[in-house]
Amino acid sequence: MKIKNLIENLDREKAIWASLRIGLGWIMLWAFLDKAFGLGYATASENAWINGGSPTSGFLAFATDGPFSGFFEMLSGVAAVDWLFMIGVLFIGGALILGIGDKIAGITGAFLMLLMYLSRIPPENNPVLDDHIIYLIVFVGIATVKPGKWLGLGEWWANTKLVKRYPFLE
């Protein structure tokens, strides 16, 4: 079935949620790809994780601000933090794009956005709200609505033995 036919068969609300899920998944997956391989967008090739760079050190060492900045700066360059971040964005992005694990991807994505928000209080361009809070809200929506069942593998995933046994993976 062609993509156009799939979209026409979805109602608008489902199509919007599916689009948000896939789009946010791509943002997360791109963060992984760029930081891992230094594709030259946010990460130069020489700073790529694959070349020995730290995917979190630049942000944590130089971009944090506010009451929690000392805590986040202390995490800069810690290998375990790099691994957790990279595994997190890879699995969150991949799960959202595929439409599997919406619940766990939404919850972990929301938690990641909360940490990123807390690392820069107050936000740079607005005294209260920034894009991390908006992403957090979308992640919570994804965890609640579970749009992976539309334009994704979510329905199949929810019926696997693994998810039946461990429902938090849904």
Give the global pTM: 0.90
Q: Give residue 154's pLDDT band: very low, low, confident or very high (50, 70, 90).
A: very high
Q: How far apart are CA 169 and CA 126, in angstroms?
A: 35
Q: Which region holds residue 3: left if phi is over 0, alpha if psi is between -120 and 50, else beta?
A: alpha
Contact 117, 130 (CB under 8 A): yes
Q: For position 124, what pLDDT does the model report?
A: 83
Q: By C-alpha distance, which of 75, 70, 69 is closest to 55?
A: 75
